[in-house]
Amino acid sequence: MSELRLTSNPNLIKIYLVNTLHFRLSLCIFAHSESVAQSLKKVLSEERYALNFLYSGQEFLNFIEQNKEQIDCLIFVNRDQDNSLLTKLQTEGILLPLIIIKADNLAVIKTEKTDYIYHSGEVILMSSKLEDLPSYIDQAITHFLHLAPSCTLIEKPTNIEPTKTKETQTFLMLQQRRLAEKLKERLGYLGVYYKRNPQYFCRNLSEEDRQDLIKQLQAEYREIVLNYFAKDEFLNEKLDHFVNRAFFADISVSQILEIHMELMDDFAQQLKLEGRSEEILLDYRLTLIDIIAHLCEMYRRSIPREDLPFELLFRID
């Protein structure tokens, strides 16, 4: 594949796109009928998108379950009786970018922040404006990448158990990373993944939510330390989860160090009670270095490249 830096030069952009067509975005489309599918095909280029049309609710759910790690965006032609399908995905902890296409006579003005069916990053498109669907796909992906892993701390669906919430957060972060890497290959830019929402920064949370976040970080860090030198096949995933949560909550390196020292103090006291040496705790400096290195790398990459205007990120027409 040709290596070209994206610029505002339209000719270079066209050359770049020709050489990156195999990085098509994979769309899962719940269309109800062939006639609806044909309407959508008219506005969706198969050079840019891999189109997967599903016509029944069970077929839709089965396809997502089997391909959830490859789907880049859901397009849901809305009928009120079908909303339970999105609720099902939510309770299963499967979060993906979503566009809901509504008939104009079903237009509802959102007045509440939590007035959403699937997740707070979903995008609504009225059926009379189908020609705008490509730009709405870009919006849906951007909103999805902006979702912070800690968002479920604030926007808690009452029908999801705490353990499922954690699984959902993990899946969300892995999907964000996968999609961001795909966009990096396709557009040569990763900065969008690191556009964080200050609303979810630790310092901007309520006192109760802030304490909950710190407790979760402490518990996750403790689990990482206890398994760091063991044969834990999920250790890297736990490290990624912890670092991502810390990054999106804008946790500083000094706060990570504080969590580490408090944990080492607890372990030291326990070792003293057992009459054992504290020297073993020195080995866990490697854990701290590992965590800090990953977190610093995320903060480093969060600085946008100066040579690529943000408006070129998705809108390349």
Q: Are residues 18 and 156 in the same domain?
A: yes
Residues present in the chain in total:
317
* Whether residue 251 is found in the same domain as residue 141: no
- Same domain flag for 117 and 245: no
Identify whether 148 is part of a domain: yes
Q: SS3 helix, strand, coil % of the chain, rounded to 5?
A: 60, 10, 35
Arithmetic mean of pLDDT, 274-287: 89
Task: Grade residue 256 by pLDDT with cuts at 50, 70 and 90.
Answer: very high
> What are the phi and psi torsion angles at 50 (to 5°)?
-95, 115
Mean pLDDT, residues 227-255: 84
User: How many whole angstroms separate alpha carbon 33 and alpha carbon 134?
Assistant: 20
**E strand map for 95-245:** 98-102, 123-126
Confidence band for 78, pLDDT divided at 50, 70 and 90: confident
pLDDT for the residue 297: 77
How far the first Cα of the chain sits from its last, in Å, is 21
> Based on the domain organization, do 99 and 213 belong to the same domain?
no
- Identify the weakest region by mean pLDDT among 203-207, 249-253, 307-311: 307-311
**Residue 311: inside a domain:** no
Give the model confidence (pLDDT) of 131-154 as tens digits: 999 888 888 887 787 665 545 443
**pLDDT above 90 (res 198):** no
Residue 81 has pLDDT above 50, yes or no: yes
Residue in 180, 170, 115, 111 with CA at minimum distance from that of residue 144: 180
Environment class of residue 203 by beta-carbon count within 10 Å: exposed (0-12), middle (13-18) or buried (19+)?
exposed
In order of 1, 80, 228, the CA distances from 15 in angstroms are: 11, 43, 47
Classify residue 301 by burial, with Cβ atoms within 10 Å: 0-12, 13-18, 19+: middle
281-298 per-position pLDDT tens digit: 998 999 999 899 888 877
In a domain, 190, yes or no: no
Are 6 and 308 in contact by the 8 Å Cβ rule? The answer is yes
User: What's the pLDDT score for residue 84?
Assistant: 87
The whole-chain average pLDDT of the chain stands at 76
Domain limits for position 290: 197-301
Q: What is the pTM of this model?
A: 0.52
Q: What is the pLDDT of residues 89-122, one digit of tens each?
A: 888 888 889 999 988 765 444 434 446 788 878 8
- Tell whether the model's pLDDT for residue 159 goes beyond 60: no
CATH number at residue 208: 1.10.1240.30
pLDDT, tens only, 12-59: 333 333 334 446 789 999 998 889 899 999 999 888 889 999 999 999
Q: Which residue has the tokens 């909103």?
A: 143
CATH for 78: 3.40.50.2300
Q: How many domains does the chain have?
A: 2
Residue 253: inside a domain, yes or no?
yes
**108 and 243 share one domain:** no
Residue with tokens 């008939």: 103
